[in-house]
Structure 1
Amino acid sequence: MNTKILETLEYSKIQQALLGSIMTAAGATLVHELTPATDIDAVQQALDETADGATILRLRGGIPIPRLDDLGPALKRVQIGAVLNGQELALVSRVLTTVGAVDAFLTDLKDNVDLRQVYELQAQLTSLPTLEKRLKVAIDEDGRLTDEASPKLYGLRQQMRQLEGDIRKRMENYTHGSGAKYLSDPIVTIRDDRYVIPVKAEYRNQFGGVVHDQSASGQTLFIEPQAVVELNNRLREAQINENTEIARILAELSNEIAPYVHELRANTDLLGHFDFINAKAKYAASLKANEPEVSADNIVQLNEARHPLLDPQKVVPNTITLGEDYQAIVVTGPNTGGKTITLKTLGLLQLMGQSGLFLPTAAESSIGIFNEIFADIGDEQSIEQSLSTFSSHMKNIVEILANIDDRSLVLFDELGAGTDPQEGAALAIAILDQVGALGAYVVASTHYPELKLYGYNTPKTINASMEFDVSTLQPTYRLLIGVPGRSNAFDISLRLGLSADVIERAKLLINDDSHDLNNMITDLENQRKAAETEYLDLRQQVEAATKLHDDLATAYNEFFEEREKQMAKARKQANELVSSAETKADKIIKDLRQMQLNQQGNVKENQLIDAKANLKQLHQQESPLKQNRVLRREKAKQTLKVGDTVQVASYGQTGVLLEQLDEGHWQVQMGIIKMKVATSDLQKVNPEPAAKPKRRVATVSGATSGPSTTLDLRGVRYDDAMAQLDSYIDAALLAGYPQVTIIHGLGTGAIRNGVTQYLKRNRQVKKFGFAPQNSGGSGATIVQFK
């Protein structure tokens, strides 16, 4: 991609915005080197990485990358056998620590979140635990060697501390004793790495010893008393030995790093890459940007596009389409109407998309892949080269025409301007014809009315305009594709007070073609506004009709359900009445049969059978749907039996049926608990297929009956904390949680140790460990259950 387009469209300001979120030197290098790619796979991969960063930013606040300086110079020095200083070794230690933290962070994330590219980058990280541990023990964060760097260093520093204590104790005899009156100030200070006291000049012989310095006035001498000279000598000797040991340790650590220069450089680059992904995600969030699709057919569809460098509260979004039905757009409209900004928005968003950045557009936008983007925008007048505006523009256009092909996008601002209007219009048309012949994509703004006809008559070319509100004499900055702009000079002049007679005479001076063109444009605008008004009205009607339909459907369902309930209730009542009557009838028939047997009456058997059948016909079917075979099968599926998986409504948990205790109760196994549950509280559910087990992730909100996934023990007494922990673990196991977090804080470490000992003893605990640094660190413990 040519560098001139990057300057013209202010691409560097996008890079500056990204740098604001960069934490590492390697990440800053990637931002500085960022350029639009021309390979579709490379563009998609960069967008995938940004999408991963946006997901991680939304869910976890971003990949945990601390501020890291450039490790490259230190690694180069190691390669040539140089000894690294403490600050350089501390930087190596921070890189290795960050590698471990990022790897742990992404490993934890992998269990719950699907990403496109970041896990592949994670696999390239190289962990060096032995070297990391050695550096952590030997070097603190400021680059100072710790006492544990070597046993000899520890002994020397112990000796130095003891000597310093002895020296200060001796010195206190001078600053607080009878000799204090000879001092300018009762303090102990250091000159030439030796402890001295400030003595008034006239008492220089009072303490003996060595004079190391004097004040500017000469009234104070800094004297090392004779009594501490030997101690100072021994301290100085220990300091020299300490420096020698430090130099030896630094050389040793540098030699230990030397075999891993390649791995350290690769780790540094990967951490910079993660940092770069974070920065792209944060920039996308600040713009409220969305991921564009990448069109292999170079179809550009920027929905509600906004220029990323303008105030989002003031900029007017526009939808820009190019490449499907037309490859050329001719934009007309008044000055300050937004034509130039529209061209820059299209060009800059295309550059950003090909750089793997999200775009400030609505969803479902798409970008093309252009090998080159050219622009002739703005005043190119050059005093140094003695070129006029027109000459400078033409020089730029000649260069553009010499380099474009069918994978190029060209942006012309005020094409043909700066010369005679008739010649300029003809030249503009010829240039657009040449661009079209080469198959390039082009968007050109112009004032010439001849180009409106060109846009109307030329294949794969369409007119567009920037809307202007004549009533307010202000541009609306809305892009209208398919509608050419018309001259508003007469309307504006009339509203500003110019005489109507003057305007009519002016109209007579322009040719009929211009009148016809303006009239055509006016008709198109009127038709567009009428269609837009009709569309809005129809949309309101459709929304109202949809709402009414939904309301009616809801009411119908409620009516149908209520009707079925009432019918079922009525049938049940009728059957109760019939059952009662049937019982009485059975008694009567029994008595009649008894009478017949006793020959006390003459009742025939067939008459008794008919009477019985007629009584049975009084029964009403409680639900006609009971005869439906499909419904019978579904009802059979809901019949409870031992081994079924059920939902216990009152606990919001699933369990397994062990046995039926009675008609109204079952024994249910929920986790490690067996409970007696009412049959009405159970609902049969289909168990998940065993072939593809999925890790259950508990999501708990305030509205559920289960415990939270986090227990906070901060500020709780030890005994109470252990009791709460025991109860909470039981509740979490009952709820079926795979993982919980115990927040115990740092404090004295008593509760943290108690939690650790409890978890070690609990057989249901699979593993546990401290939380990541960005989630509490050693102040919280993450517990995973079996």
Structure 2
Amino acid sequence: MNEKALKTLEYTKIISQLTEFAGSVPGKELCKNLLPSSDLGEIQQMQKETSDALSRIYQKGSISFSGVTDVRGSLKRLEIGSILSIEELLRICRLLETCSRVKAFSRRENAEEAPDSLDGLFEELQPLTLLSSEIRRCIVSEEEISDDATPALRQIRRSIKLTNDKVHSQLSSMVNGSMRTYLQDAVITMRNGRYCIPVKSEHRGQVSGMIHDQSSTGSTIFVEPMAVVKLNNELRELELKEEKEIEVVLSNLSERAAEESEAILEDLKLLTKLDFIFARAQLSKSYNGSEPDFNDQGIVNIKKGRHPLLDKHKVVPIDIRLGDDFNLLIITGPNTGGKTVSLKTVGLFTLMGQAGLHIPAFDHSRLSVFEEVFADIGDEQSIEQSLSTFSSHMTNIVSILKHVNDHSLVLFDELGAGTDPTEGAALAIAILSRLHRENVRAMATTHYSELKVFALTTPGVENGCCEFSVETLQPTYRLLIGIPGKSNAFAISEKLGLPKAVIEEAREQISEQDESFEDLLSDLEHSRVTIEQEQEEIRRYKSEIEGLKKQLELKQQKLENSRENILREANEQALAALREAKEFADTTIKNFNKFGKANISAREMELERSRLREKMSNVEKKLADKKAPAPKKELKPRELKIGDSVKVLSLNLKGTVSTLPNAKGDLFVQMGILRSQVNIKDLELLDEPSVTGPGLSKTGTGKIKMSKSSYVGTEINLLGKTTDEAIAELDKYLDDAYLAHIPQVRVVHGKGTGALRKAVHAYLRRAKNVANYRLGEFGEGDAGVTIVEFK
């Protein structure tokens, strides 16, 4: 593609946006160098990769490639046997850890999911966990090697510590003993890597040892006492041994990295490509893009396309067709009506699509593969070259005509403008006729009526216009294909207050043929608006009918379900009643037989009859009690807030709302230590007793609920949560703990990577009720716990 078209159509701005989404330096380089392709197979493959990456982002969220760094220089050094530095080994380690994280991201939760175009790239990744784990085990940071890197290093550092302790012990005894009067200060200092004491220059003879330095005034000399010279020598020897052992550690790690250098290089290439692909997907997500369908027949059909550089909340979607029924589209309409934006949208979408990027349009919009896109858009006036606007445009057009072919897309803005209207219109028709004969796909904007007639009378050429409302004197920015734009100069002038006499005189200046043509355009426009209104009304009626049909089907289904439930419950109740009646009958007959044989009096039989009647009454009462009481008032989801006090009617328990109701009306309620899921129909909102007092945050009525903090503990566990989930839960917990007058709480976040700890501390710095916070000490949880104190 020619550089001029890329710049004119603002493709470079899209590339700048794309680069921002890449997480690594190598990935950003790939984004910066992305150019449109003219290979249909390559374009379709890139589009499929972008779509698959976008699908994974929607399913699992985004993934960071920030750990991907260019380690090719380090790998070259390994090829010649060099030992890598700590920083270089850590960069390789971060690369492999990113590889492992990306590999984990690629694993599918459902084994039945269909494979996609990225599976092969993910499968080829080699995390080399053993190598990265070994580097992490041996290297603590960019300045420190771990004591556990080798047994020898651990022993050397232990000896260094012991020797250091001996030196400090001896020097401390000197400083705090008899030599105190000879010293400038009672301190131990270091000069040239050796421990010394500051001796007053006049007492030099009283302190035997080696002089290593003196103060600028000469009043103090720094002496290494003879008693610690040997220990300092031992310390220096141990430090040299430590340096050599560190070199051994780095050498061993470098050798292991050299053995895997090919795999590391391949991981770098794969991660860079995946970063590039996911950057394209993130760009698509940012403007709600979709994958276009590509063809090589020159057919373009953009559905509800939105220019990606315009405000997505204000831009008006447009429909554009080209290359099926017609190859040349001439767009007319008022200034600032959207003609140029329409041109740029088609050109930019073509470039983006051929670069593997999604376009902000409806699904299955169609684009064609073009070998070149030419654009003559904007004011090309050049003062330096003494070229007028017309001359500059014509120079550009001459260049386009030299290089254009039937696999090109040509875009002209205000073709033929800047010169005599009659000659300009004639030139424009000649240029467009040349392109039309060569079967070139082209779009042009113009104000010339001659071009409207050219489009109406030439097969394969179509008119289009940007709609304009005469009532509001504002463009609608809608592109209408098949209708030429009407000149609204007279209507606009009359609306703005130009005297009618002037307008009538102007009408007399134009020919009868031109006036008839404008009237024809006006009639076409009126007919189009009427048809569109009728079609919209038909669509609305169809939508209403569909909605009513669905409601009727749903109502019928509910009635069927209710009927089945009622019949089932009635049968169950009837069966229970029959069972109870049978039991009563059996009992009565049994007693009757017993009373008859024993000659029991009628009074005792009447007493037994009363007991049976009382038993039936108790059973009926139990059945009545089993029905859950109905709430006094039916709650609606919008009436509930987290923290509201409610009563669970079926359990006869009070609790506090923990979550908001879902679509089915289910929510979680905290009832003491019990947290249970219930339905909103089983709840009744309570008015809790409230208290007021100084130092407490008040509600709008100056009160707070007592139940808010009645179950708050002194610790919150955030392990296993994302930072967003953890901060939301921590925010509510701290509010409740503060209201409960708990002076100090523990926040358990774990050690891990430290990301959750940083997020918690960042939140605590902004919290108004927090007096101070600190990491836990030994026995409190160390760095995995933060202790928070309230004001």
In the alignment, which residue of structure 1 is the partner of 2:504?
Answer: 504
Q: Shift of residue 210 of structure 1?
A: 4.9
Q: Shift of residue 71 of structure 1?
A: 1.0
In the alignment, which residue of structure 1 is the partner of 2:102?
Answer: 102
Q: Shift of residue 253 of structure 1?
A: 2.9
Specify the code of the residue in structure 2 equivalent to 1:525: E
Contact (CA 8 Å) 1:56, 1:63: kept in 2 or not? Answer: no
In the alignment, which residue of structure 2 is the partner of 1:10?
Answer: 10
What secondary structure sits across from 2:386 in the alignment? coil
Q: Shift of residue 384 of structure 1?
A: 2.9
After superposition, residues 533-548 of structure 1 pair within 5 angstroms as 533-548=533-548
Q: Shift of residue 144 of structure 1?
A: 4.0
Q: Provide, for residues 293-318 of structure 1, a one-character-per-residue CA deviation record: whole Å limited to 9, x for no partner.
A: 22343322222211112221222221
What secondary structure sits across from 1:329 in the alignment? strand
What secondary structure sits across from 1:123 in the alignment? helix
Contact (CA 8 Å) 2:194, 2:224: kept in 1 or not? Answer: yes
Specify the code of the residue in structure 1 equivalent to 2:398: V
In the alignment, which residue of structure 1 is the partner of 2:521?
Answer: 521
Structure 1 pair 376–243 and aligned structure 2 pair: CA distance change class (3 A): same
What secondary structure sits across from 1:294 in the alignment? strand
Q: Quote the Cα distance in structure 1 between the aligned partners of 2:219 and 2:454.
A: 96
Q: Quote the Cα distance in structure 1 between the aligned partners of 2:336 and 2:440.
A: 27
Name the TM-score, length of structure 1 as normaliser: 0.67
Specify the code of the residue in structure 2 equivalent to 1:343: L
Q: Quote the Cα distance in structure 2 between the aligned partners of 1:157 and 1:192.
A: 20
Q: Provide, for residues 202-260 of structure 1, a one-character-per-residue CA deviation record: whole Å limited to 9, x for no partner.
A: 77777564555566777766655554443333222222222223234333433333343
Contact (CA 8 Å) 2:97, 2:127: kept in 1 or not? Answer: no
In the alignment, which residue of structure 2 is the partner of 1:326?
Answer: 326
In the alignment, which residue of structure 1 is the partner of 2:457?
Answer: 457
How much identity, in percent, do the aligned residues show? Answer: 42
Paired residues in the alignment total 587
Q: Shift of residue 119 of structure 1?
A: 0.7
Runs of at least 5 residues in structure 2 that lack an aligned partner in the other structure: 569-663, 669-675, 678-714, 718-747, 753-783, 785-791
Structure 1 pair 187–61 and aligned structure 2 pair: CA distance change class (3 A): farther
Contact (CA 8 Å) 1:306, 1:345: kept in 2 or not? Answer: yes
Contact (CA 8 Å) 2:20, 2:28: kept in 1 or not? Answer: no
Structure 1 pair 192–562 and aligned structure 2 pair: CA distance change class (3 A): closer
Specify the code of the residue in structure 2 equivalent to 1:376: D
Q: Provide, for residues 629-673 of structure 1, a one-character-per-residue CA deviation record: whole Å limited to 9, x for no partner.
A: xxxxxxxxxxxxxxxxxxxxxxxxxxxxxxxxxxxxxxxxxxxxx
Structure 1 pair 231–428 and aligned structure 2 pair: CA distance change class (3 A): farther
In the alignment, which residue of structure 2 is the partner of 1:312?
Answer: 312
In the alignment, which residue of structure 1 is the partner of 2:54?
Answer: 54
Q: Quote the Cα distance in structure 2 between the aligned partners of 1:419 and 1:343.
A: 22
Is 1:35 matched with 2:35? yes
Structure 1 pair 351–166 and aligned structure 2 pair: CA distance change class (3 A): farther
After superposition, residues 438-453 of structure 1 pair within 5 angstroms as 438-453=438-453
Q: Provide, for residues 517-570 of structure 1, a one-character-per-residue CA deviation record: whole Å limited to 9, x for no partner.
A: 3212211211111111111222222233334445566677889999999999xx
After superposition, residues 578-597 of structure 1 pair within 5 angstroms as none
In the alignment, which residue of structure 1 is the partner of 2:280?
Answer: 280
Contact (CA 8 Å) 2:67, 2:95: kept in 1 or not? Answer: no
Is 1:236 matched with 2:202? no
Specify the code of the residue in structure 1 equivalent to 2:70: D
My pick for the range that moved more, 14-23 or 441-450, is 14-23
In the alignment, which residue of structure 2 is the partner of 1:124?
Answer: 124
Q: Shift of residue 330 of structure 1?
A: 0.9
Specify the code of the residue in structure 2 equivalent to 1:73: G
Q: Quote the Cα distance in structure 2 between the aligned partners of 1:94 and 1:562.
A: 61
Q: Quote the Cα distance in structure 2 between the aligned partners of 1:470 and 1:11.
A: 35
Q: Provide, for residues 486-530 of structure 1, a one-character-per-residue CA deviation record: whole Å limited to 9, x for no partner.
A: 222222222222211111111211223321232122112111111
Q: Quote the Cα distance in structure 1 between the aligned partners of 2:201 and 2:478.
A: 86
In the alignment, which residue of structure 2 is the partner of 1:262?
Answer: 262
In the alignment, which residue of structure 2 is the partner of 1:466?
Answer: 466
Contact (CA 8 Å) 1:53, 1:62: kept in 2 or not? Answer: no
Q: Shift of residue 110 of structure 1?
A: 6.5
Is 1:76 matched with 2:114? no
Q: Provide, for residues 44-65 of structure 1, a one-character-per-residue CA deviation record: whole Å limited to 9, x for no partner.
A: 1111111221122112113453
Q: Shift of residue 129 of structure 1?
A: 4.6
Contact (CA 8 Å) 1:404, 1:438: kept in 2 or not? Answer: no
Q: Quote the Cα distance in structure 2 between the aligned partners of 1:336 and 1:181.
A: 92
Q: Quote the Cα distance in structure 2 between the aligned partners of 1:219 and 1:186.
A: 15
Structure 1 pair 214–13 and aligned structure 2 pair: CA distance change class (3 A): farther
Q: Quote the Cα distance in structure 2 between the aligned partners of 1:186 and 1:512.
A: 113
Q: Shift of residue 400 of structure 1?
A: 1.5
My pick for the range that moved more, 335-344 or 108-117, is 108-117
In the alignment, which residue of structure 1 is the partner of 2:369?
Answer: 369
In the alignment, which residue of structure 1 is the partner of 2:434?
Answer: 434
Structure 1 pair 260–495 and aligned structure 2 pair: CA distance change class (3 A): same
Is 1:146 matched with 2:152? no
Contact (CA 8 Å) 2:67, 2:94: kept in 1 or not? Answer: no
Structure 1 pair 121–515 and aligned structure 2 pair: CA distance change class (3 A): same
What secondary structure sits across from 1:274 in the alignment? helix
Q: Shift of residue 191 of structure 1?
A: 4.3
In the alignment, which residue of structure 2 is the partner of 1:299?
Answer: 299
Specify the code of the residue in structure 2 equivalent to 1:378: G
Structure 1 pair 162–497 and aligned structure 2 pair: CA distance change class (3 A): same
My pick for the range that moved more, 105-114 or 258-267, is 105-114
Q: Shift of residue 375 of structure 1?
A: 0.8
Q: Provide, for residues 433-458 of structure 1, a one-character-per-residue CA deviation record: whole Å limited to 9, x for no partner.
A: 12222222111111222111122222
Structure 1 pair 210–530 and aligned structure 2 pair: CA distance change class (3 A): farther
Q: Quote the Cα distance in structure 1 between the aligned partners of 2:209 and 2:373.
A: 81
Is 1:44 matched with 2:44? yes
Contact (CA 8 Å) 2:67, 2:98: kept in 1 or not? Answer: no
Q: Quote the Cα distance in structure 2 between the aligned partners of 1:259 and 1:561.
A: 69
Q: Quote the Cα distance in structure 1 between the aligned partners of 2:220 and 2:379.
A: 72
In the alignment, which residue of structure 1 is the partner of 2:724?
Answer: none
Is 1:395 matched with 2:363? no
Q: Shift of residue 19 of structure 1?
A: 2.3
In the alignment, which residue of structure 2 is the partner of 1:615?
Answer: none
In the alignment, which residue of structure 2 is the partner of 1:476?
Answer: 476
Name the TM-score, length of structure 2 as normaliser: 0.67
What secondary structure sits across from 1:414 in the alignment? coil
Q: Shift of residue 154 of structure 1?
A: 2.6
Q: Shift of residue 78 of structure 1?
A: 2.0
Contact (CA 8 Å) 1:63, 1:274: kept in 2 or not? Answer: no
Structure 1 pair 550–438 and aligned structure 2 pair: CA distance change class (3 A): same
Q: Quote the Cα distance in structure 1 between the aligned partners of 2:473 and 2:184.
A: 83
State the Cα RMSD in Å. Answer: 3.7
Specify the code of the residue in structure 1 equivalent to 2:444: A
Specify the code of the residue in structure 1 equivalent to 2:48: D
Specify the code of the residue in structure 1 equivalent to 2:511: N
Contact (CA 8 Å) 2:83, 2:250: kept in 1 or not? Answer: yes
Contact (CA 8 Å) 2:68, 2:271: kept in 1 or not? Answer: no
Q: Quote the Cα distance in structure 1 between the aligned partners of 2:413 and 2:220.
A: 79
In the alignment, which residue of structure 2 is the partner of 1:487?
Answer: 487
What secondary structure sits across from 2:445 in the alignment? strand
Q: Provide, for residues 304-363 of structure 1, a one-character-per-residue CA deviation record: whole Å limited to 9, x for no partner.
A: 211112221222221222222222211112222222222112211221111222221122
In the alignment, which residue of structure 1 is the partner of 2:423?
Answer: 423
In the alignment, which residue of structure 2 is the partner of 1:751?
Answer: none
Contact (CA 8 Å) 1:406, 1:439: kept in 2 or not? Answer: yes
Q: Shift of residue 460 of structure 1?
A: 1.9
Q: Quote the Cα distance in structure 2 between the aligned partners of 1:178 and 1:488.
A: 108
Q: Quote the Cα distance in structure 1 between the aligned partners of 2:464 and 2:181.
A: 95
Q: Shift of residue 8 of structure 1?
A: 1.7
Runs of at least 5 residues in structure 1 that lack an aligned partner in the other structure: 569-699, 709-713, 717-743, 749-778, 780-786
Q: Quote the Cα distance in structure 1 between the aligned partners of 2:189 and 2:454.
A: 90
Structure 1 pair 544–92 and aligned structure 2 pair: CA distance change class (3 A): closer
Structure 1 pair 565–249 and aligned structure 2 pair: CA distance change class (3 A): closer
Contact (CA 8 Å) 1:382, 1:388: kept in 2 or not? Answer: yes
Q: Quote the Cα distance in structure 2 between the aligned partners of 1:25 and 1:13.
A: 19
Structure 1 pair 399–135 and aligned structure 2 pair: CA distance change class (3 A): same
